[in-house]
Chain A
Amino acid sequence: MAEKETNRSESTVKYRFPRLGSSHGTKRAALRRNGRARLKWTAGTAGVYLVAAVIGIVFIVPLLWMLSGSLKQTQQMFTYPVKWIPDPFVFRNYLDAWNTIPFGRFLLNTLYFAVLGALGDLVSSSLVGYAFGRLRFPGRNILFIVCLSTVMVPQTAIIIPQFILFKTIHSIDTYIPLILPSWLAYPYWVFLMRQFYMTIPEEFDQSAKIDGCGYFQIYLRILLPLTKPALVTIGIFAVVGDWQKFLEPIVYLNSQIKYTISVGLGLFQGLYTTVSWSLMMAASAIAMFPPVIVFFIAQKYFMQGINLSTGKD
């Protein structure tokens, strides 16, 4: 009973949530802000820029400190007061870090599992999202609420049965435990896809149906191309998310040759005493490089993902 109550309330949150963004007047809001900005240019805007810039700098200090450290000689790491500019610049650190652990292999492993995982996320969430957002069948709303409430189940609460399951099917120390769940519809992506399907006018399906298309045809030919923006967003989030994963890979992967980048980077922790901080910083920078590139190229899609979850298109 108690649990049912939560589910219902939870769904209320989600159901109402989209309405926020779907309100109109964004353009006018923009106009207003422009107007106000021009009025208060001197005091207000300068203040905003100053505060925003200071916070921005605070935010990237750790990353600058990493870059600085990654280019220093070992003895230069340990000075007071700290030096920001390495002297000399030791680019060799990156090469040494690359050779300390089998970086290339770890990167390939991660790419392999992240791409197959993201592919699964796309296929499964677009199929399931189509059912929840488009088709009518008994129990749809209840099932959708169940699906949404599983978003709230933390991975750590269910990892033991999952581990036992994957052990039973002999897939420990393979990528199956890391990839398979993605093919079975991660509820949050399902939710996003459903939201997106619901923004597409029903007339598309209707006219296709009159032309004699089956449901799968409608999905594949009509709707799938229209949901491309949502799919790109989910794909990027999924790849970046897989790149970050740590708990699942250390639980499931045993042999070093199969490590993902996160777990492989973790090897440096074991080398704490023997490997210098500058190599650790260089290694961290290498590991951050791919997601940062993806992020800057695909920025727009990250923000789109948030808008999607709040109901804007």
Chain B
Amino acid sequence: MRGQFGSRERTKEAIAGYLFLSPWIIGFIFITGGPILVTLILSFTQYDLVSAPRFVGLRNYVTMFTHDQLFWQSLKVTALYTVGLLPALLVISLLFAILLNRKLPGMSTMRTIYYLPSILPSVATTFVWAWVLNPDFGVFNSFIRGLLGVAGPRWLGSAQWVIPSFLMMSIWGSIGPTMVIFLAGMQGIPEQLYEAARVDGASNVRQFFSITLPMLSPVILFNLIMSLIGSFQVFTGTYLLTQGGPNYASYFYVFYLYKNAFTQFKMGYASALAWVMFLIILACTMVVLRSSSIWVYYQSDKSDKK
């Protein structure tokens, strides 16, 4: 039927397609894609927003890697945090998903409660955590003193404990969405697999490792990549509570970028920082994706819709 109209119909459809696409195309040029390129160009300049950008070649990058201790410190802090966050977040939310993945009354209420922190304004939750973790009068240290009889750590005020404090805040805030994605994935695993396994006498643990985990691996990959990107974006807590302290122990990368760009107006240098971050995330994602051929299991595709 379509064939009779031939190319004219197809041209019409193509024109309509591009028209419908136009908000995204404009957005790509000015808001998302284009700026990546502009950031790269700016990273080779010195630019304070007042006078015109001055080309300085690779100087920003050279300074960053050879002279800038804060750059290395912020990188270290962010890396430490990422390494702590990813396994903890993924394992805990997977465990929670297993826990809640049953048709029992009340399970959806639990899911709602676990999800709740993620929809709250981060500034408000940051203040709440500051009060929860208050070394002298917070509820946490009160528990510790009551249970163990010793004074708890200084949390946000301690160079040693500030990263664990941030980890706690982030895990509390992002476990819900991660868990719900796992749950959705689990509900898509065909029941026949479990039936067959039970016929063969496989235990629950064995079923988990032989069916659930492999079938869920694409979802794990998705959550891993999304959390990885998110872990580079810690900002609110540093900005409001610690200002990177104590002793630069919570000097997160994005905080450093923000300071360069919007308090010192070193736009060129900040752009170089942004590009380094972009490359690091890209590299990490590539490593994860490359390795995924080993640990991610895909069913053979018959009904791939395109």
How many A-B contacts at CB < 8 Å in the complex?
350
Query: Which stretch in B66-74, B155-163, B274-282 binds the other chain?
Result: B274-282
Question: Which residues of B are found within 8 Å of A49, using beta-carbon distances?
Answer: 104, 106
Interface string of B99-126 (1 = CB under 8 A from A): 1101110110011111111011111110
Partner of A131, one of B21, B124, B289: B21
Q: With CB as the reference atom, state the residue of chain B lying closest to A261.
A: B121
Complex alpha-carbon distance, A155 and B35, angstroms: 10
Q: Which residues of chain B have C-beta atoms less than 8 A from A69's C-beta?
A: 131
Partner of A6, one of B33, B116, B235, B282: B282
Q: Which residue of B lies closest to A262 (CB)?
A: B123
Given A19-B301, A243-B121, A262-B123: A152 touches B281 (CB 8 Å cut-off): yes
Is the CB–CB distance between B33 and A146 below 8 Å?
A: yes
On whether A26 and B177 interact (CB within 8 A), knowing A77-B137, A184-B30, the answer reads no
Stretch of B55-63, B80-88, B179-187 on the interface side: B179-187
Chain B residues near A23 (CB-CB < 8 A): 188-190
Q: Is the CB of A48 within 8 A of B17?
A: no
Partner of B113, one of A56, A155, A187: A56
Q: Bound complex: CA of A285 vs CA of B125, how far in Å? A: 9
Complex Cα–Cα for A164 and B15 (A): 33
Q: Which residues of A contact B274 (CB under 8 A)?
A: 156-160
Whether B23 pairs with A124 at a CB distance below 8 angstroms is yes
Q: Which residue of A lies closest to B96 (CB)?
A: A55
Residue A176, interface by CB 8 Å? no
- Closest-CB distance, A298 to chain B (whole angstroms): 10
Chain A 144-169, CB-CB to B under 8 Å as 1, else 0, gives: 00110010111111111111110100
Whole-angstrom distance between the Cβ of A223 and the nearest chain B Cβ: 11
Q: Is the interface of B mostly helix, strand, loop or mixed?
A: helix
Whether A48 contacts B104 in the complex (CB less than 8 A), given A82-B137, A306-B180, comes out as yes
The 8 Å CB contact of A164, one of B21, B49, B225, is B49
Given contacts A59-B116, A181-B27, contact A160 B146 (CB under 8 A): no
State in angstroms the CA–CA spacing of A140 and B282 once bound together.
Answer: 24
Q: Which of A99-115 contact B (CB under 8 A)?
A: none
Q: Is A140 within 8 A of B233, CB to CB?
A: no
B268 → A minimal CB distance (Å): 9
- For the complex formed, measure the closest distance between the CB of B258 and the CB atoms of chain A, giving whole angstroms: 7
Stretch with Cβ within 8 A of B (4 or more), from A85-93, A227-235, A264-272: A264-272
B240 touching A266, Cβ below 8 Å: yes
Query: Measured between C-beta atoms, what is the minimum distance from A232 to chain B in Å?
Result: 16
Chain A nearest Cβ from B105, distance in angstroms: 10
Interface positions of A from 119 to 142, Cβ below 8 Å from B: 123-124, 127-128, 130-132, 135-138, 140-141
Q: Are B261 and A135 in contact (CB under 8 A)?
A: no
Question: In the bound complex, do residue A28 and residue B188 qualify as a contact, i.e. CB atoms below 8 Å apart?
Answer: no
Residue in B123, B132, B303 with the greatest tally of chain A CB atoms within 10 Å: B123
Chain A residues with Cβ below 8 Å from B99 are 48, 51-52, 55
Q: How far is the CA of A292 from the CA of B118 in the complex (A)?
A: 10
In the complex, which of the residues B32, B123, B125, B172 contacts A150, with contact meaning CB atoms closer than 8 Å?
A: B32
Complex Cα gap A198–B38 (Å): 35
- List residues of A whose CB falls within 8 A of some B CB: 2-3, 5-6, 9-10, 13, 15-26, 28-30, 32-34, 36-37, 45, 48-49, 51-53, 55-56, 59-63, 65-66, 69, 77-82, 123-124, 127-128, 130-132, 135-138, 140-141, 143, 146-147, 150, 152-165, 167, 180-181, 183-187, 190, 198, 214-216, 219, 240, 243-244, 246-247, 250-251, 261-263, 265-266, 268-269, 277, 280-281, 283-285, 287-288, 291-292, 294-296, 299, 302-303, 306-307, 309-312
Q: A13-B225, A137-B15 are in contact. List 20 more A-B contacts (CB 8 A).
A: A19-B188, A21-B188, A26-B188, A32-B191, A33-B103, A52-B106, A61-B139, A66-B131, A82-B139, A137-B16, A156-B254, A158-B39, A162-B35, A184-B31, A185-B24, A251-B262, A283-B127, A295-B119, A306-B183, A309-B184
Q: List 13 A-B residue pairs with CB atoms under 8 Å apart, sorted by A's residue number.
A: A18-B305, A48-B104, A53-B110, A63-B116, A80-B137, A164-B38, A164-B267, A181-B31, A186-B27, A244-B120, A250-B239, A311-B188, A312-B184
3 nearest CB pairs, A to B: A184-B27, A137-B17, A161-B35
